[in-house]
């Protein structure tokens, strides 16, 4: 069956959906716009096997932007448990306009370590050297 969807949504990914990471396969068929970073108004947390992005922080977070159709967006929503686990929200990127991103409720991040570099890949490399 051929997918016919013209609606495109730009999504910022910053963890397991990044190219080369375990869940990137869900972005097959999406158009990669490029590397991007948030404005320095967020915090990135280590939530074990994946990161959690929260608003009202002080760091810029690195990631990638993809243009996805409604089918891929629905698959991403399922993966991220939107709206009950993560909440898909419109955010402003640094110099690249507004995109959708999956944010985690800050109240559920108490006690989780902050990733001060704002980069999940850098954090994973640092964890391996511990």
Instruction: Compute how many other C-beta atoms are within 10 angstroms of the C-beta atom of residue 113.
Output: 11
> Is position 80 annotated as part of the catalytic site?
yes
The conformation of residue 107, written as its DSSP 8-state character, comes to: G
Is residue 102 reached through a cis peptide bond, with omega within 30 degrees of 0 on the bond before it?
no
CA angle 54, 58, 64 (to 5 degrees): 60
Task: Say if residues 102 and 82 touch (Cβ distance below 8 Å).
Answer: yes
- Active-site option among 64, 80, 100, 126: 80
Catalytic residues, by residue number, are 80
């Amino acid at each position: 069956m051929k997918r016919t969807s013209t609606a495109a949504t730009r999504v910022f990914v910053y963890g397991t959906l990044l190219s080369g990471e375990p869940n990137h396969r869900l972005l097959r068929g999406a158009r990669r716009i490029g590397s991007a970073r948030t404005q320095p108004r967020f915090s990135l947390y280590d939530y074990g096997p994946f990161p959690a992005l929260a608003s009202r922080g002080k760091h810029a977070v690195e990631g990638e932007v993809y243009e996805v159709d409604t089918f891929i967006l629905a698959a991403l929503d399922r993966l991220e448990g939107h709206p009950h686990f993560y909440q898909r929200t419109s955010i402003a990127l640094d110099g690249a306009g507004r995109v959708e991103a999956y944010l985690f409720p800050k109240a559920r991040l108490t006690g989780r370590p902050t990733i001060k570099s704002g980069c999940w890949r850098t954090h994973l490399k640092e964890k391996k050297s511990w």
